[in-house]
Chains A and B, each alone.
Chain A
Amino acid sequence: MQFAAGAVGGTLLTPLPWKLADDSAVWSQNWSWRPSPERGEITKVPSVCTLCAGGCGIQARLVNGNRAILIEGNPANPVNEGSVCALAASALQFLYAPYRVTQPLKQTKKRGDKTGFQAISWEQAQTELSKKLEEIRGEGPHTVACITSSRRSSMDDLWAQFFNAYGSPNLFKMPSECDASKSAAQLTTGNSSTFAFDLENAGYVLSFGANLLDGCAAPSRASGALRRWKKDRYPVKIVQVESRASITASKADVFLPINPGTEAALAMGIAHLMVNGANYDAYFVKNNVFGFEDWTDSNGKKHQGFKSLVSSSAYTPEQVAKITGLEPAKVRELAKEFASQPKALAVWGTGRADVSNNTYHELVFVALNALKGNLKPGGLIGLAPKAPLSELSAQKDILSENSSQQPRLDLAKSQNCPCPQNGLYGFLDAVSSGPKYPIKLLMVHEANPAHCLPENKLFAAAAEKVPTLVSFSSFMDETALQSDYILPDHMALERFDDVIGIPGAPYGYYAVSAPIIKPLLDTKHTGEVLMKVASTLGGTVASSIPWKSYEDFLKFRVEGIAKAKAGAVIDKPIEISSIKAGDPVTSNYSDAADLFKKLKAGLCWHDAPSAVTFDKTTSGKLELACQSIGKNAQSSDDVIYLPHFAPLKPSGSESEWPLLLVSYSSPRVSCGYLANTPFMNKLIPDSMLAGDELFIDLNPQTAASLGIAQGDQVKIKTTQGEAGAKANITPAARPGVLYIPRGMGHKAYDEYIGNKGVNACQLMEVQLDPVSGMGTVWATRAQLRRV
């Protein structure tokens, strides 16, 4: 007892316990398992972001030149003016992702078995690919196909060059909203371009379902436009027409709730009132529009014009109200406002950037803007100008000449589309259901159709029929996982790339994305893999692709701009939207080398907007009666030539499937080729995801009728598939309509990314547009019940 007391007292008098206490505290402050980032000199490297089509200038911060720690916006870039989005801000999480493919892999077991991937050398990978291509080429080169990203870059042109030289027509792009715009521009103006919107200079914006702030194709530009609209003095009035009370709807001054997919009916209703009230740009229409009045075709046959169609009883405010669910008075009020506002612009979209639109609806919106006079020179709508990059022309040999007799596989099935476009859906459909000829090798580049293509089971079914599937993905995504070979590309920040124009932007734009860091892993630029394969194949294929590196290839492309002495490099912040069509832009580079040097340093090239030209159409005018539609038409009804409300009926009966499922995008969820990053996962609200359960949004009224309470476990069943989820009851949802966020439900990747909720693509129905043959997605019939 005494001893114990003495011992305690004695120990307390020594420095030992105090030293121990101090040491343990110091230890707790320096835990070895807490990473301590290496210090060093911090430098900034400018570049251009290629994670989406938006074309933002970025700069990376590096430590000691070899460790990237931050991606920021580049203030010198006129598109994003120094800002970044959540995806770009977390871009380094792709660069340093644990799920990157570290070197070429070959599947040795069954497809999809992660353990079956065997590491192979680049030497072997390229040799095996070349060999396969060589073999197939002898038997018929058209049996090789490729699916690439929908982003516009020189990689597209390199792929096209390769396919042209090699001899296969089967090169497809992932679907995009721009596809429909392209069809509409082609049909009405004869130009193979897309429509461009002068958002920044509009005085009144009427948006038909354009998801400007909910993750559109060019998010930075839309954000910049919003900032300008919300100016202190004379802010721009924004009217959002769609079914969901989205972010865009909330930011708008007026939200007009309508039944999903009826935006075009409302636009027709407005046009009806404008025409009947003679409240439209009659001068422009009279002089520049064909098919407004009744018209006669080359055979002398008389056809109904748009004027007579739109002013018919089918589009009276009452009729439109019935379709859209709005009050007739609202339709009248809106038409009056739109017609009377001097700089009113109608924009439109499907609410998703990654799928095409119904061509007739696209035409309706063009028609409405035409009535407003927006398509005249200097108007708010133009055509996206093209940077005069050096054109590529493939040399053909006998094999590629012969195979060019073969139709593209999506067309072989003869959809009878009068205006066929990039028909990925037709292609997949054909491959899986007994094609005219088999596909022996399918390559997938910068795309993940196994996950993010609506109705992704179509890809799975097609892939099953293809003996060899090659992925060039940097990441172990769902498509890469199903591939026989993975030849990993550099991650976007490690490679040369470029941005050709910004979707929907009226000004010319071109930027080179230079690598910010040396490749971290044993990866290879897919462009350079193509170059290598081409040179192995030899002959005209090799001579069509003579470049040694992708940088050389880009230099070659830029020469075209320099030769044309077009546009200028932006080396100081400018208000790019203040440049009008036809304004002179004086070039500020001496030659191609100088231009490339500037572009490589992160500066972008721009040019003045270009006005819509109609000289390429048969009539030399804007064709509201699209004569080319009539080519393969089976129907002789005049309406087939004209913009009109033509909803594609979702399959299933209303009695069996009483609800509609509509998917939506969120700026906080990446829903394309790139999966969400861990940083972005933090941004997903708990009303969208809880653990691995996704929430489906529904209106309180719908919930009440189904006996569903907030957070209830539910089962959603659509005509396409079914899934378990949770119910989120929100007045943002329209009664009778269910909403599901896109981009969730990944099955591949790692524990940070995978197994979070449901993939909307497996539930959504795709319908082929009768004019373009492209897949469109708007709503799918569904049932919902509590489990």
Chain B
Amino acid sequence: MDRILIPDGVKRCSFPIFSLWILVLLGVIGWGIAAGAAVLIKALNLTGLNDYFGFGAYITADLAIIALGAGAFFSGFLYYGLSKFFPSLKELGKIINLAVVVGFVCYTGALAVLLLEIGQPLRGWFGYWHANVHSMLTEVIFCITCYAIVLVIEYVPLVLENRKVSESKPMAILAHSMHDVMAIFALTGTFLSFFHQGSLGGVAGVCFARPFAFREGLFIWPWTFFLFILSAISSGPAFTALICKAMEIVTRKRLVDRTVYELIGKIEGGLLSFYMILKLADTANWAFNMSPRFGLKLTDYYWGPYGLWLLIAEVGICGVLPALILISPKARKSSFLLFGAFLLDIIGVSINRFVMTIQAIAAPVMPFDKWQVYVPSVYEVAPVLAMLAYCALVISLSYRYMPLFPRETELNR
């Protein structure tokens, strides 16, 4: 039925099955939109947020998804920027389209959820108009907006490559010329996303009255600025690779060469190891140098559901362990270990975003303050799930109708 839209030489599942899948996704999205609309109309009292937990599920999900979406800019940076100097990075071209799609959906999805998060969405644009140059959030607002535009620009040529669309000559020309300049956008995007990823880290790190989150740093940026960038680039490509693997399983096809996974594994292994070294140093400095100055010890930050297990999980099981696996060429050969490490890696980064958002404010600062526990309401869960469904939807559509994987035809011959 939709054969005419499907790229040449690839096989796709039957339209009814695809429709069913899309319907499921649309159902989740509809649920999320309904919940989001309710929040916009009836205000934020529907959420589990309160005066203690100013930030909650929306922000955590946004931070995590933006970190994981970083695969887009970082793969782009490696492919468009560095492959001239390191030819082996050319391999990434085989997955770069997917990386762009993942980045695109993650960012646009995050922006939509961000709209719900603020109490006065109609005035959201005051961030541009009355910008406070000192605020990390201002940095975030500007960078995310710019980068989302860049991602749209990066995504457009992919759309234009659709068989039907490229039949139109001007579109084909546009697509071609856009591809030529893509390197420039990729590099602009890289800068912007490095910067805003860092700013997101800064959001937590500059809260100098929140000992859990506060970090000293370099010039105006706290260490979290740099750690967030590093953690994003050491997990984003892994996320792209995992999605690719998931697609391979679902479609029962090979979409990229295994060498691509191993290359990503190698890159991530290196980055993650570097990140973990810095993270451990940062944690040690925070726990044993900064906190005592504030009269706090490490155990003061952990209580009840927000126990020390979070630190062990984030830094140990989902940090050092995948780093060790990924830097070992032998371990990378095992699919179980390779993808297992990818999974741990992204879980670790998600925990990091959770901890820097929720735990940072759950931990009481005043000695007579009490721990509180945050439980998100369905009005927070639904839009977040809808955002994930939206990601899946765009990826599914993109895969079905666009030539995402240059090697797909060959690999499945």
Contacts and interface: CB of A to CB of B under 8 A. Distances in A.
Nearest to B171: A1
A29 B125 CA distance: 14
Contact of B125 (A1, A25, A27): A25
Contacts of A28: 120, 122-123
A595 to B, nearest CB: 51
A770 B404 CA distance: 96
Contacts of B120: 28
Interface string A400-434: 00000000000000000000000000000000000
A393 interface: no
B121 to A, nearest CB: 9
B51 to A, nearest CB: 13
Contacts of B165: 1
A25 B118 CA distance: 13
A21 B125 CA distance: 8
Interface in A1-58: 1, 21, 24-25, 27-29
Nearest to B120: A28
B226 to A, nearest CB: 35
A1 B125 CA distance: 28
A420 B355 CA distance: 70
A27 B123 CA distance: 10
Interface string A193-217: 0000000000000000000000000
Interface in B110-158: 120, 122-123, 125-126
Grouping DSSP codes into helix (H, G, I), strand (E, B) and loop, the A interface class, with mixed when no group exceeds half, is helix
Interface in B73-130: 120, 122-123, 125-126
Contacts of B123: 25, 28-29
Interface string B293-327: 00000000000000000000000000000000000
Grouping DSSP codes into helix (H, G, I), strand (E, B) and loop, the B interface class, with mixed when no group exceeds half, is helix
Contacts of A27: 122
Contacts of B126: 25
A426 B126 CA distance: 70
A29 B126 CA distance: 13
A27 B121 CA distance: 12
A25 B126 CA distance: 9
Nearest to B168: A1
A774 to B, nearest CB: 43
Nearest to A27: B122
Nearest to A23: B122
B295 to A, nearest CB: 25
A27 B120 CA distance: 11
Q: Which of B120, B122, B126, B165 has the most CB of A within 10 A?
A: B122
Contacts of B122: 21, 24-25, 27-28
A627 B122 CA distance: 82
Interface string B225-268: 00000000000000000000000000000000000000000000
Contacts of A1: 165
B156 to A, nearest CB: 10
A21 B120 CA distance: 12
A713 B227 CA distance: 47
A24 B126 CA distance: 12
Nearest to A25: B123
B305 to A, nearest CB: 17
Nearest to B123: A25
A28 B121 CA distance: 9
A28 B122 CA distance: 7
Q: Which of A25, A27, A29 has the most CB of B within 10 A?
A: A25
B261 to A, nearest CB: 36
Nearest to A2: B170
A21 B126 CA distance: 10
A161 B120 CA distance: 63
B117 to A, nearest CB: 16
Given A1-B165, A25-B122, A25-B125, 10 more contacts: A21-B122, A21-B125, A24-B122, A25-B123, A25-B126, A27-B122, A28-B120, A28-B122, A28-B123, A29-B123
11 contacts: A1-B165, A21-B122, A21-B125, A25-B122, A25-B125, A25-B126, A27-B122, A28-B120, A28-B122, A28-B123, A29-B123
Interface of B: 120, 122-123, 125-126, 165
Interface of A: 1, 21, 24-25, 27-29
| Across the A-B interface, the 4 shortest Cβ-Cβ residue pairs | A28-B122, A24-B122, A25-B123, A25-B122
